[in-house]
Amino acid sequence: MDSTIIIAPKSDKPSLQVDRKNIITTTETPAPLFIQASVINPAVTVSNLVGTELYTLVQGLPDTASLVNSGGTSIGTPSTGPSAVALVSNELQGLYLKDHHAGSYTLNVEAVSDVGDGDNQSSAVIPLNVVIMGKETDLNGTPDSDIIISDGTAPKITAGNGDDLVAGGTGENRILPGSGSNRVWGGEYSGSGDGHRDTFAFEAGDTGTTSIQDFEPGVDVIDLSKLLNIDNVWSSGDLANQVNIDEMDGKTRITALSEIISLDTIPLETLLPGGNAMDPAERLSSLVEQGHLIVSQQFGHEGKDTLYAPPAAELK
Q: Model confidence over 50-78: pLDDT tens digits?
A: 999 999 999 999 999 999 999 999 999 99
Range of weakest confidence among 53-62, 121-130, 293-302: 293-302
Do 119 and 154 have their domain in common? no
Residue 6 clears pLDDT 60, i.e. is over it: no
Do 124 and 158 have their domain in common? no
- Structurally, the chain folds into a number of domains equal to 2
Cα(288)–Cα(293) distance, integer angstroms: 5
Cα(6)–Cα(45) distance, integer angstroms: 16
Q: Which residue has the higher pLDDT, 3 or 46?
A: 46
Task: Note the pLDDT of residue 121.
Answer: 96
Residue 230 lies in a domain: yes
Residue 8 lies in a domain: no
Residue 264 lies in a domain: yes
Do 36 and 128 have their domain in common? yes
Do 96 and 171 have their domain in common? no
What secondary structure letter does DSSP report for 1?
A: -
Task: Note the pLDDT of residue 82.
Answer: 86
Q: In this structure, how many other beta carbons lie within 10 angstroms of the beta carbon of residue 45?
A: 10
Q: Evaluate whether 116 touches 48 at the Cβ level (below 8 Å).
A: yes
Residue 164 lies in a domain: yes
Query: CA quadruple 112, 113, 118, 119: dihedral positive or negative?
Result: negative
Residue 36 lies in a domain: yes
Domain that holds residue 175: 139-297
Residue 308 lies in a domain: no
Distance of CA 162 to the CA centre of its chain: 11
Four-CA torsion 256, 259, 263, 264, nearest 10 degrees: 150
**CATH of residue 110:** 2.60.40.10
Task: Note the pLDDT of residue 231.
Answer: 77
Amino acid letter, residue 129: N
Cα(82)–Cα(97) distance, integer angstroms: 20
Residue 3 clears pLDDT 80, i.e. is over it: no
Do 226 and 153 have their domain in common? yes
Residue 234 clears pLDDT 80, i.e. is over it: no
Average pLDDT estimate for 209-232: 94
- Strand locations in 81-207, DSSP E? 83-87, 95-99, 103-113, 121-122, 126-133, 139-140, 146-149, 157-158, 165-167, 174-176, 180-185, 199-203
Please give the backbone phi and psi of residue 20, each rounded to the nearest 5 degrees, phi first: 70, 110
Do 109 and 229 have their domain in common? no
Residue 87 lies in a domain: yes
Listed residues 113, 133, 153: the one ending a domain: 133
First and final CA of the chain: distance in angstroms? 104
Residue 232 lies in a domain: yes
Residue 230 clears pLDDT 90, i.e. is over it: no
Please give the backbone phi and psi of residue 230, each rounded to the nearest 5 degrees, phi first: -115, 25
Question: What is the share, in percent, of the chain residues with pLDDT greater than 70?
Answer: 91
Q: Of 179, 212, 184, which is closest to residue 292 (Cα–Cα)?
A: 212
Residue 145 clears pLDDT 90, i.e. is over it: yes
The pTM assigned to this predicted structure is 0.90
Query: CA quadruple 146, 15, 60, 91: dihedral positive or negative?
Result: positive
Strand arrangement, sheet containing 221-226: 139-140, 157-158, 174-176, 199-203, 221-226, 293-294
Cα(21)–Cα(217) distance, integer angstroms: 33
pLDDT tens by residue, 27-52: 999 999 999 999 999 887 899 999 99
Do 46 and 118 have their domain in common? yes
Cα(141)–Cα(130) distance, integer angstroms: 11
In the structure, what pLDDT confidence band is assigned to residue 195 with cuts at 50, 70 and 90?
very high
Task: Note the pLDDT of residue 10.
Answer: 87
Do 158 and 225 have their domain in common? yes
Cα(306)–Cα(316) distance, integer angstroms: 22
Residue 303 clears pLDDT 60, i.e. is over it: no
In the structure, what pLDDT confidence band is assigned to residue 309 with cuts at 50, 70 and 90?
very low
Do 70 and 164 have their domain in common? no
What secondary structure letter does DSSP report for 124?
A: P
> Cis link prior to 82 (omega < 30° from 0)?
yes
Do 127 and 268 have their domain in common? no
In the structure, what pLDDT confidence band is assigned to residue 314 with cuts at 50, 70 and 90?
very low
Task: Note the pLDDT of residue 316.
Answer: 41
Do 123 and 247 have their domain in common? no
Listed residues 133, 166, 193: the one ending a domain: 133
Query: CA quadruple 282, 288, 294, 300: dihedral positive or negative?
Result: positive
Do 242 and 146 have their domain in common? yes
In the structure, what pLDDT confidence band is assigned to residue 229 with cuts at 50, 70 and 90?
confident
Cα(175)–Cα(136) distance, integer angstroms: 14
